[in-house]
Amino acid sequence: MKILHVSDTHLGYSAYRKIADNGLNQRELDVYESFAGFIDYALDIMPDLIIHSGDLFDSVRPTNRAITFALIQLLRISRAGIPFVVISGNHETPKLRETGSVFRIIEHLDHIYPIYKGEYETLDFKDIKLHCIPQTPHGEQLQEALGHVTSDPGMRNILILHVGILGMKEFRMGDFNEHIIPKIALPADMDYIALGHYHGGVQVTENAFYAGSTERLSFKEEKDTKGFWKITLDETRDMQFIPLDTRDMVTLELDCFTLSPQDTLDHIITLLNKCHPSGKILRFFLYGIPRQVYNTLDFESLEDITREAIHFELLPEFPEDEHFVHAGGAIGNLMEEWLTFLSRVSLDKDKEEIGKLALHYLSQVEQ
């Protein structure tokens, strides 16, 4: 039995301002292309079963464009006769049941099996029994659903879940409406547990694996290889992670505290040219850069170098900001500086009133 396990495709996701030649947000297009790449691979090898462990869509109410794209890709799978089982994740599950699920649009497609009603369901394919637990309204219902999972001794048993896992290492996203279970709650008697929600493709227990997301969706995933699992279940379980072609994210860093203004700019330009910005998503931390140096940077030159990047962001950390945060006496020193300054300037009138008013405001800030 040849199975593909994919997850967290987040169709409809968009970010940044870069627009592709066809008028779409480039990041939205990246997400579509990653999913289409997965579908291409599936049609090439013709697996016996495809499992999607949640967050097919990025939101409860995806755009018409995202829905149309999903339908086109799922129709390719449907026409090939490949069973495609997808559970709902936290991103596409409405908090109120009366809102309705976007999965109703795809449940009438041949060979497409969306599981989204918030309760435990099972499906049989040849000698495989799928134990499906979609996103539930509350954690208590998730625990109840897990209690109903019982392996069938005459079948290969696969559990599909969209949850975070707590153990020696945490696998969670910090999202709204996410469910977290301890690692010990994962049934050891399953032949395979297909996990969704965490965006890294990793093994959690001997039989439990996250497929991860199919595209990088935040800088937390900068170092992750994106893809999906190809599983062969015979006498043993053979696993192979298949990578997808995804958009690069790059973090650059520079300690500017001891650099002159020109050296700071030269170092920034050198690092940018070295990373080849075209087509990449970039962020650049400038540690300890004096505010006056940052304000005199040649931003036009930096814009020219990064013009072909999908996104570029400078993130300065000013030394005076750090001092303000960590030094408890910063406000008091500012009061003294104000009084010293006021004593050195000449005002025709209201000098005493202005001095008192400023001290009043500074006192409020301190409080």
Q: What type of residue is 70?
A: A
Pairwise CA distance, residues 112 & 83, whole Å: 6
Pairwise CA distance, residues 358 & 356, whole Å: 6
Q: Which of 205, 223, 243 is a domain's end point? A: 243
Q: Which of 243, 259, 293 is a domain's end point? A: 243
Same domain, 265 and 332: no
Same domain, 187 and 261: no
Q: Is 362 in contact with 334 (CB distance < 8 Å)?
A: yes
Same domain, 202 and 275: no
Give the structural domain span for 274.
Answer: 249-322
Pairwise CA distance, residues 52 & 82, whole Å: 13
Number of domains in the chain: 3
Q: Which of 227, 243, 259 is a domain's end point? A: 243
Same domain, 233 and 263: no
Same domain, 238 and 338: no
Residue 331, classed as helix, strand or coil, is helix
Pairwise CA distance, residues 171 & 202, whole Å: 10
Same domain, 130 and 47: yes
Query: What CATH code is carried by the domain that includes residue 107?
Result: 3.60.21.10
Same domain, 276 and 235: no
Rounded to 5 degrees, what angle do the CA atoms 40, 43, 44 make?
85
Provide the 10 A C-beta neighbour count for residue 131.
24
Starting at the edge strand found earlier in the chain, the sheet holding 237-243 runs: 112-115, 84-87, 49-52, 2-6, 227-233, 237-243
Chain-centroid distance, C-alpha 245: 17
Same domain, 297 and 361: no
Same domain, 352 and 289: no
- pLDDT tens, residue order, the chain (367 aa): 999 999 999 999 999 999 999 999 999 999 999 999 999 999 999 999 999 999 999 999 999 999 999 999 999 999 999 999 999 999 998 876 667 899 999 999 999 999 999 999 999 998 999 999 999 988 899 999 999 999 999 999 999 999 999 875 778 777 777 899 999 999 999 999 999 999 999 999 999 999 999 999 999 999 999 999 999 998 889 999 999 999 999 999 999 988 999 999 999 999 999 999 999 999 999 999 999 999 999 999 999 999 999 999 999 999 866 544 443 444 445 655 666 666 666 666 666 677 767 766 766 665 5
Same domain, 86 and 166: yes
Rounded to 5 degrees, what angle do the CA atoms 181, 237, 191 make?
40
The total number of residues written for the chain in this structure: 367
Same domain, 226 and 261: no
Which residues sit opposite 42 in a β-bridge?
none
Q: What values do phi and psi take at 107, rounded to 5?
A: -75, -15
Same domain, 298 and 334: no
Tokens representing 356 are 């008192």
